[in-house]
Structure 1
Amino acid sequence: MASSNFIDYVKICSRSGHGGGGSAHLHRDKKTAKGGPDGGDGGRGGHVILRGNSQLWTLLHLQYRKHIIAENGLNGGPSHSTGAQGKDEVLEVPLGTIARNVETGEVMCEITEDGQEIILTPGGRGGLGNAHFKSPTNQTPRYAQPGEPGIEEWVVLELKLLADVGLVGFPNAGKSTLLSVVSAAKPKIANYAFTTLEPNLGVVAYRDYKSFVMADIPGIIEGASEGKGLGLRFLRHIERNSMLLFMVSCESADIAEEYNVLLNELQTYNPELLDKKRILAITKSDMLDEELEQEMRATLPEGLPTVFISSITGKNITQLKDMIWEALNS
């Protein structure tokens, strides 16, 4: 079960405000017996708006807000007074959030930039006051438009983490250890499967003050695309990574086979994932001598950029960063 701090899927009922009705007022005062129509327009109903916030990385703050309701617009008044606009309801969401209609499954919008605002459910328009309907043949219209109703619909907000590099590997491949070494992230590390139960993001410093974002995706197992292990829950996060770093331990009985199993799970989940650039890192290689490493190289997939690394000793970590940077910028 995932940590309660990382929520990447919430279902909400989003209801925008109703528009205020227009006024059908006729002007009268002690100096003016028949001043004609002066009814003002109704105010627009409040929108429900999604706003990108780069400081957020989870939908936890929305987990228990099932009903998001914007204010209704107020009715128009006399003397051409326009009704007040309903207050918008703004939901701050992490970058990479997708809104999907529950009934149709259609993607309504997605947030990818800090400060980006998208109207999720628009508020109803305010009705026109009777002043708009005055004509030569109807000098005193006694009707005005009602406001348009707001929209109510159930929406799923789904987070897909935005990162430059996604770490892909079986449990215990050393993904969390690598992230803790190359960034300031502090993922949980232990010698048992599924130590990582939620994705972790880390900013990796590179040469000349450059940097890139690395995401540690919880371990995949054979059958993950069919729901085994942690299942599909975290495979979605891999979709938004610019490139994939496959990590296989040198302790594996067959590195090429393990790599192919991982590749197959990604292909089964979404064939487009195979279009991303890939690097293979053989981890824990401080346990290998030079002769054994050369023997292993002969069994690795051809044409795939490969590097033997050790997060503990720092072996080839700089080379790995160079390979990642080149892949991201080529």
Structure 2
Amino acid sequence: MPVTDVITDADNLTMTVIADLAAPVERVWNAYTDPEQLNRFWGPPGWPATFAEWNPVVGGRARYTMNGPRGEKSSGSWEFLAIDAPHRFEVIDAFADEDGTPLEGFPSMRMTFTFESTDDGTRMVNTSYFDSAEALEQIVAMGAVEGTRMAMAQLDAVLQDLRDFAQGKGTVVELLDDTHVRITRMVEGPRDLVWRAYNDADLVKKWMLGPEGWEMTECVIGTERGATYRNSWAPVGDTEGEPFGFEGEVLMFDPPRRAVSTERMQGMPVETLNDLNLYEEDGATLITLLIEYPDKDTRDMILATGMADGMEASYQRLEREVLSA
């Protein structure tokens, strides 16, 4: 976790983020000044950012939108005040509509980013300066401290080459808070093919089977917002267990990058929100599944079923039966 501290200072009207990063200054500078890389960590999990405008010169502007899993949007704009590559830049950050027009009733702030070399890499310090105590309180009440920590936790994956970061780790389960779990798995194969493997019923039946001894008996794919899906499995031969399945509704479908859906076990009322993201680098794809549970007890109950082990078996089959075919 790269964030060392998030400090709010009511006397000086500031919020400061300090992060120690295991990468040289030039590499960290590139992550903060390349919109494609910013897209991967500027928004917290479940709210990825898209920078639609990027003009990093003094007086230039940037415009971004963070997209929530249920179709929510939160947009902002930057105006560049100073740039001293690769050590410092300064912007005015404002809440905005999708066209970049600042929103009334929401605070804007001056933000400075500094990058200094350390023995282990780089120390990044991001300080936001507010016009009033009320503006600082409003930002904190909106969850800025927690959101910043969760967003910055994604930066390690950006700073490293994908294979250096994820190869050989298998299926990784991270508990982000009481109701959010992030599951990641790198697979060897291009993103377009991985996307097809999730959305072509014939391909799904080849790999999404969990442990050995199970077969998929039903596979109905939803490939547009509002569509429903339904998947069912049953044991084969002497395998122990009862048939089961999942169903839900597609909330977002953005090929080949992101799909969000609800999920519930057939016949059960408990529902989760599943946010699937695919990122490709040098012929490998990082699969990230962010799951939102209704409460901690449900989260713990589902994880205790061995879900991660079943997913790992499926991902191994995905690489073997689909991506290497």
Structure 1 length-normalised TM: 0.23
- Name whichever structure is richer in strand by fraction: 2
Structure showing greater radius of gyration is: 1
